[in-house]
Amino acid sequence: MAVVELDLNLTDEQKAMRDLVRKFGAEVARPAAIKLDKLADPQKVIAEDSVLWDVFRTYRQLGLHRRGYPEELGGLGNMDALTGCLIGEEMGYWASDLAISLGAAGNPFRVASLSPHPKVRDLARQYLEDTEAKLIGCWAITEPDHGSDWVLAVAGGSRQPECAPQVSAVKKGDRYILNGQKSAWVSNGTIATHAGLHVCLDRSQGMGGGGLAVVPLDLPGISKGKPLNKLGQRALNQGEIFFDNVELPEEYMVVPNPQVHTMMMPGVLTGANTGMGVTFAGLARAAFDEALAYAKERVQGGKPIIEHQNIQLKLFKMFTMVEAARSFSRRVSAYNAVTMPGSAAHAVASKVLSTETAFMVASEAIQIFGGYGLSKDYHIEKIFRDAKTAMIEDGENSALSLAAAASLV
């Protein structure tokens, strides 16, 4: 890899973790992501004999899914921010689509670990002990009519009843009755066994009337759509989830108070965008490395094209952009790791900067590749599509920016 590591004080433990993830990425994640990307039918991505499951199992056998969970449940405890950045960058570098999938797989179990109810909290322990990928989570927040407006709700808007989330949870005795639909963009939506489900508890408060539940997806009344067929991040399974008079025991509603849900949402979205910034700084680095390697190999005018000044200027501009994104994402991650709920504005800025950098650097890389950059035989074509997808997921960049801008005003 061409980009030099500027953090000179990495501990032996941090280097070992980085190298572990780098080996996993190079030998397992990227080959699988490339293979899965080429499958025309997204249903084949999640088939029983798919290499996707080898990725999940290997990731868990390495213990990487145990990061950030309490030690008493079998987790590794809170990892230092820089180690988390090193892992996130490497995962984004080798396979950003699988990085998102593997991360989303733990969402409901992180929520479960916060529950005071032993039965619900034990789900986190079961997940941490699972090395066969029998338990898969999804983050079920986006809906057909509610995507980036979850971010606007955090900024204090969308409090009208007509803006309320579609999936409702109505308390009846010791149960909640769930009805509604989550959209096709739910990561791991069609393979998940459990969901971290954001619901509407009080429609009169609009987007401010939410709650958060851990939902086993084998309950009667739950069904799923087909896997989404999309442009980029094709190794990341996504799909709809439908709820039809689903009876959820009340203890699974981990956040039953809309005021508490509203208070926690800035932290949730800050964490998600902080992670996106780190992951796609890694993808930006991958795009640069692909271009640099190709420029050293491709001959035009009797010499490698890297010896042409116009290519050198392109590469140096790309290098500058990548290093800016890497440095900023690490700085934001370090701050948000020790400051609750963290800086939402900086998290959004990191996500926007990294995803747009990845897209622009990948676009310039394709220019360097020329016609070959359009060929599916070269990895840069996949990186370009994956980067474009990142500019929309976890909040469309313009909507995110508007919400963050409000805090500056």
CA distance 361 to 367: 10
CA distance 247 to 40: 37
Q: Does residue 283 carry a pLDDT above 80?
A: yes
Q: Does residue 1 carry a pLDDT above 70?
A: no
Mean local confidence (pLDDT), 382-396: 96
Global confidence as pTM:
0.95
Alpha-carbon distances of 363 from 15, 92, 287, 357, 367, rounded to whole Å? 31, 17, 9, 10, 7
**Segment 201-228, tens digit of pLDDT:** 999 998 889 999 999 999 999 999 999 9
pLDDT at residue 305, rounded to an integer: 97
Domains defined along the chain, listed by start: 12-112 (1.10.540.10), 135-260 (2.40.110.10), 264-408 (1.20.140.10)
The region, left, alpha or beta by phi > 0 then psi within -120 to 50, assigned to residue 52 is alpha
Q: Does residue 86 carry a pLDDT above 60?
A: yes
